Structure 1
Amino acid sequence: MRTTKISGVLFDLDGTLLDTANDLGAALNYVLRKYNLAEVAREDYRPIASDGALGLLTLGFAQALKNYDYEVLRAEFLAYYQENIAVHTCLYPGVAQLLLTLNERNIPWGVVTNKPEGLTRLLLPYYSEFEKCLSLVGGDTFTNRKPHPEPILKACEEISVPSEQCLYVGDALRDIEAGNSAQATTVIAKWGYIIAGEDCKNWQADYHAESPLDILSLL
């Protein structure tokens, strides 16, 4: 476990700061309805929500996915999602207070997500809490995406904090792998899209946080 003084914080987005599952699930079910297939219940799509279009379409279409043009399905999914990107999405309880406290303490912070940068930039302005976000790195911003460390290292440069002095908070194994590879201090967001029964102890994170406000005790 690292003991370096923390000077900045980077976050994953879906399942960490924003609960986007219901809007992503609505996009999936829109496509399924279009092809007269059974819709997916919230409890089934929620753990897959941060896996993007591929993960959700694979969940919904299952073995039948090979019978369709995936790129067409993906385009239909993303078009619906883009038009309905903030209908049901909300900040997790405690996130607003967490970000406000970081701002009050002049601790720089940013977002590193595998969500496409264009969609992320479309989504964040709906929530005023992101006005002080100093770095926004999407899944297609650079050559590599998480679990590669490049997005986190680039974001650390943008917030002017060495990666060794940065927290990276996320709810997926790829988040922790990317943070560890970048030499950041890693935190599992236990409130996020983690499959029931998943043993997060094997992820080798530095800390496990039960709620967003737990992050403050690490600063």
Structure 2
Amino acid sequence: MTLNSNLFNHKYEGILFDLDGTLLDTASDLGNALNHVLNQHKRKACEYDAYRCVASDGALGLLKLGFGEDFANLSKTEVETCRQMLLDHYQQNVCVDTTLFEGVEELLEDLNQQQIPWGIVTNKPSFLTEALLTNFPIMSYSGCVISGDTYIKRKPHPLPLLEAAKALKVKPENTLYVGDALRDIEAANNANMVSVAALYGYINDPKEVQEWKADYSVERFSQIYEIN
């Protein structure tokens, strides 16, 4: 696979990516952590099809799904206990079933060969981001890794994306940002970047993406080659 010459031919200087649901398919490991908590509370496990679409919503999003209407009845202490249990289990099993999405490694290798800077901006906590990325050698070539706790603000605020652009030494308006959530597109648009919605990611209803005002959308990761 070779890089489409139109993709970065004097138009785009660099590219930034969300992590979960964009570069890495982490849904199964996150769902396993949720089901561990549910099992400890003698509750029915969630099926893959149910938790996949909220896999990018963090521990609280997963717990709200798992506990359903009962979540509102949990005390703050109970919520925090469940959240910590989920995070602990996930950290200990951070890369059991997680894989790169199809086409990711090839495109990133192309970017490296063309000396086109790329980086990662995620809302995932840094301790989990770092633990996860070490399992994928290609990720060591990322020009920057910004997590949800790297700065005082996180997506949908544009600050993390703007700081990433500085780290890559690229202009925001000449940078693509690819993500699978509304907050990704909002952050990119607010940062004056070119926003790309990853339809293959953790999206409940692809039709809702039409309201996100993304500049582009891709059904497969390899379609990033077709952006011009």
Scaled by the length of structure 2, the TM-score of the pair is 0.92
Q: Which residue of 2 aligns with 1:132?
A: 141
Aligned residue for 1:198, secondary structure, equals helix
Aligned residue for 1:164, secondary structure, equals helix
2:199 and 2:206 in contact (8 A); partners too: no
Equivalent runs, 1:1-219 vs 2, <5 Å: 5-65=11-71, 66-68=73-75, 69-218=78-227
Aligned residue for 1:39, secondary structure, equals coil
Q: Which one-letter code corresponds to 1:190 in the other structure?
A: L
Query: Alignment length, in residue pairs?
Result: 217
**Whole-Å Cα distance in 2 between the matches of residues 102 and 19 of structure 1?**
21
**Whole-Å Cα distance in 1 between the matches of residues 85 and 219 of structure 2?**
36
Q: Which one-letter code corresponds to 2:154 in the other structure?
A: R
**Whole-Å Cα distance in 1 between the matches of residues 128 and 207 of structure 2?**
29
Aligned residue for 1:110, secondary structure, equals strand
Aligned residue for 1:115, secondary structure, equals coil
What displacement does 1:197 show? 4.8
2:144 and 2:167 in contact (8 A); partners too: yes
2:95 and 2:135 in contact (8 A); partners too: yes
**Whole-Å Cα distance in 1 between the matches of residues 74 and 83 of structure 2?**
14
**Whole-Å Cα distance in 2 between the matches of residues 95 and 51 of structure 1?**
22
Aligned residue for 1:200, secondary structure, equals helix
Structure 1 stretch displaced more, 64-73 or 141-150? 64-73
Structure 2 residue ranges without an equivalent (≥5): 1-9
Structure 1 residue ranges without an equivalent (≥5): none
Scaled by the length of structure 1, the TM-score of the pair is 0.96
2:118 and 2:143 in contact (8 A); partners too: yes
The structure 1 segments of at least 4 consecutive aligned residues displaced by more than 3 Å after TM superposition are: none
**Whole-Å Cα distance in 2 between the matches of residues 67 and 121 of structure 1?**
31
**Whole-Å Cα distance in 2 between the matches of residues 75 and 151 of structure 1?**
25
**Whole-Å Cα distance in 2 between the matches of residues 117 and 80 of structure 1?**
16
> Taking every aligned residue pair, what percent have the same amino acid on both sides?
47
Aligned residue for 1:153, secondary structure, equals helix
Q: Deviations over 1:24-78 (max 9, x none)?
A: 0000000000010010000000000000101000000112222351111111000
What displacement does 1:213 show? 1.4
What displacement does 1:216 show? 2.1
**Whole-Å Cα distance in 1 between the matches of residues 149 and 81 of structure 2?**
20
Q: Deviations over 1:154-196 (max 9, x none)?
A: 1111111111110000011110000000000010111101113
